Amino acid sequence: MSRRRIFIVLGTRPEAIKLAPVIWACRARPAEFETIVCLTGQHRELVRPLVDYFDLRPDVDLDLMTPGQSLAELTSRCLTKLDAALAEHRPDVVVVQGDTTTAMTAAMAAFFRRVPVVHVEAGLRTGDLNSPFPEEFNRRVVTLAAALHCAPTERAAANLRAEGVADDRLLVTGNTAIDSLLWARDRLKSEIRNLNFVHDRPLVLITAHRRESFGPGFDGICTAIATLAKKYPDHRLVWPLHPNPQASEPVRRALADLANVELIGPLDYSGFVLTMDAATLILTDSGGVQEESPSLGKPVLVLREETERPEGIAAGCAELVGTDAAKIVDRSSYYLDAAARGETRPAIANPYGDGRAAERIVDALYRLTIVL
């Protein structure tokens, strides 16, 4: 079989984390793949440190980020520039990950040019187009365009089969986020980091950025965090803020005056892994954190009304609590009080992967014979 030209597209922090192992695996097989990495710049400030940390070395940089652009503006610019990049590089296969605007538009641009699309992390569903918004819409569009669907779990694969995806276009791989997490954890064993909030007292890690929670949802989360900060004054509550002011400003207004609440800037990936590993409890609306935390043995409260990652909840790794302040405080108190009593949680195997997802995906890339 001839050498394949693989065009891998990423634009956000999660895409960099989850596509890094795929890029490494392709580059490790130069006789089989010519690997072209395209960075859209959808999240310029957040993605660039990860591009450097994982040594992704983009071959194409579309530099799409502009302040205050709407989803429609981002989508139109991304689609146009990606089409031009595909016309120039003429790949055999386009690889996208997840449910971002970058993934959706790259899949569309490839489909329009009759280039097969491989979708990493395919098949996640909530069943509600408004939750998460616009990600649930984006990933359904990618599914329509994809030639090969790399589902992270059997449940995700079942979602795709229910939508009519044939088994010969479907592969259960595990999630590449676990590949990256295990790589980083092993690397950090020999690396000394000075994070002053990690070891001095019990730590609660909070992350939240979902658009569907803007407004009353964020108010509920902030009320809960303020209550927990006062109830547990000997704990440190650390919240790395998202750069989107709609996510960060309500948090600053509500929590900036609380002494044991740390509102900090985004952590680099290694710093975030260390902070997760040090946490007693994690509160998050992040899909990636839901996937990673079981490998670190951390209980997670999911700050969303619905999740497309129910495997962790079914396994007992996570609980869905939404944005209701009373429920967040009640379930957080349960875990924090248990930890204070010295109770330990039983080990739970991570339902999202074993660290070999990229290997399976790249093997499938070489075998791919689908032509649109």
Q: Is 128 a catalytic residue?
A: no
- Cα gap 101→104, rounded to integer Å: 5
Q: Is 121 a catalytic residue?
A: yes
In one letter, which amino acid is 135? E
Options 43, 242, 309, 360, the catalytic residue: 242
Q: Is 330 a catalytic residue?
A: no
CB 96 within 8 A of CB 109: no
Contacts of 76 (CB under 8 A, 6+ apart): none
Q: Is 209 a catalytic residue?
A: yes
CB 365 within 8 A of CB 33: yes
From residue 278, alpha-carbon distances to 197, 269, 293 in Å are 9, 14, 11
- Cα gap 332→225, rounded to integer Å: 10
Options 27, 211, 252, 356, the catalytic residue: 211
Tokens at residue 274, please?
Answer: 């260390």
User: What phi and psi values does residue 12 have, to the nearest 5 degrees?
Assistant: -130, 170
Helix (H) or strand (E) holding 284: strand 281-284
At residue 121's C-alpha, the angle toward residues 268 and 107, to 5°, is: 100
From residue 181, alpha-carbon distances to 2, 24, 95, 121, 213 in Å are 33, 14, 21, 16, 27
SS3 135: helix
SS3 280: coil
Q: Is 235 a catalytic residue?
A: no
Options 29, 209, 252, 356, the catalytic residue: 209
Options 99, 179, 212, 308, the catalytic residue: 99
Tokens at residue 131, please?
Answer: 């939750």
Cβ neighbourhood burial of 63 (10 Å; 0-12, 13-18, 19+)? exposed
Q: Is 113 a catalytic residue?
A: no
- Cα gap 60→63, rounded to integer Å: 9
Options 15, 125, 135, 311, the catalytic residue: 135
At residue 177's C-alpha, the angle toward residues 123 and 143, to 5°, is: 20
Options 13, 15, 121, 292, the catalytic residue: 121
Which amino acids are annotated catalytic? 99, 121, 135, 209, 211, 242
